[in-house]
Amino acid sequence: MRLLVAVSNEPLAHAIHGALLAGRHEVSLASTGSIALAAVAKESFDAVILDESLLGISTEQLIESLRNARASVKILLLTSTPLSKTIGEGSRWRALPDEYAPIEETPYSSFSANSRANNSDAEAEQRSDNAAASAQANVRRPDAALSKPFSDGELLSYVGSLATDSPAMIIRGNLTLDTTNHKAYYASTHSAISLSRLEYSLLEALVKADGQFVNTSELVKLIGGPFFEQQGLLKNALYTLDKKLTRAGLIMTQRGSNYRIR
């Protein structure tokens, strides 16, 4: 792979450079955000390894500018802060407050036809605004994040997964799924999250939904096939999975019988 290492810390940059060269990658260095952006605009890189402490442009602005300069480039963010922590008022790499929060309903009899029409238009406009804001936020998200400190093996594993989009390794922010061994890792691949087989299967199904809601009927088909009838077991597994993910720093959102991970 042709890689750009955008790191201001010189010892860290050279350590990453050496590890990537040993992994038979072609590597260039950039010490500031403006240098990184100019390099990506000029040359074709497969991925940028971006340190959140890079001098110059803010991380979110730089990620958006890199994608605008070359839409195909993958971005691996080196971070000391979990991605599920604090963009603006909500969370740092999770975009926006939840647009699917429950809405209190007014009894039908209190609405006139015009009121209902106006309310419907307002809701449609709100959904459109939410979708646009979510798309804007996604432009500012890295493809994956690797928490510092990390080993050479972890770095090469993450870079390799970005290169191949390998189905054996799914990376969403700080969450890594090893689909071969049915293990899930958060922030570091040193220690797996303790999950039952059913909990892992549910987590993989929700991660593959890529931020979209999945209802329990769909999960039943994905996990157990058409003859799986123990919905109580599935709902209990969703409950325990939610507790374990919360302890790990992840958030699972529920809306009625619909679930998602962002």
The pTM of this model reads 0.55
Residue by residue, DSSP assigns 1-25 as -EEEEE-S-HHHHHHHHHHHHHTT-
Q: Which of 89-98, 116-125, 133-142, 203-212 has the lowest mean pLDDT?
A: 89-98
Say how many C-beta atoms besides its own lie within 10 A of residue 203's C-beta: 24
Name the more confident of 4 and 106: 4
* Residue 206 and residue 222 in contact, taking contact as beta carbons nearer than 8 Å: no
pLDDT at residue 124 greater than cutoff 70: no
Cα angle, residue 33 at apex, residues 64 and 23 outer, rounded to 5°:
95
Structure tokens at 37: 């952006």
User: Domain coordinates of the chain in residue numbers?
Assistant: 1-83+142-192, 196-262
How confident is the model over 68-83, as a mean pLDDT?
82
* Residue 119 and residue 106 in contact, taking contact as beta carbons nearer than 8 Å: no
**Strand, coil or helix: what is 145?**
strand
Classify domain 1-83+142-192 at the CATH topology level. Answer: Rossmann fold (3.40.50)
Expressed in angstroms, the distance from the first to the final Cα of the chain is 28
Q: What is the pLDDT of residue 114?
A: 55
How confident is the model over 217-230, as a mean pLDDT?
72
Q: What is the pLDDT of residue 48?
A: 95
Average pLDDT value for the chain: 76
Q: What is the pLDDT of residue 139?
A: 63
As a whole number of angstroms, the distance between CA 254 and CA 161 comes to 29
Q: What is the pLDDT of residue 64?
A: 93
pLDDT band at 95 (very low <50, low <70, confident <90, very high): very low
How confident is the model over 15-37, as a mean pLDDT?
94
Helix axes 231-248, 197-208, angle to 10 degrees: 80
As a whole number of angstroms, the distance between CA 107 and CA 78 comes to 51
pLDDT band at 89 (very low <50, low <70, confident <90, very high): very low
pLDDT at residue 147 greater than cutoff 90: no
Domain 196-262 part of CATH 1.10.10.10? yes
**Strand, coil or helix: what is 254?**
strand
Q: What is the pLDDT of residue 180?
A: 79
- Which span out of 136-140, 174-178, 182-186 was modeled with the highest average pLDDT? 182-186
CA-closest candidate to residue 242, choices 202, 188, 192:
202
Name the more confident of 168 and 115: 168
How confident is the model over 62-82, as a mean pLDDT?
87
As a whole number of angstroms, the distance between CA 224 and CA 220 comes to 6
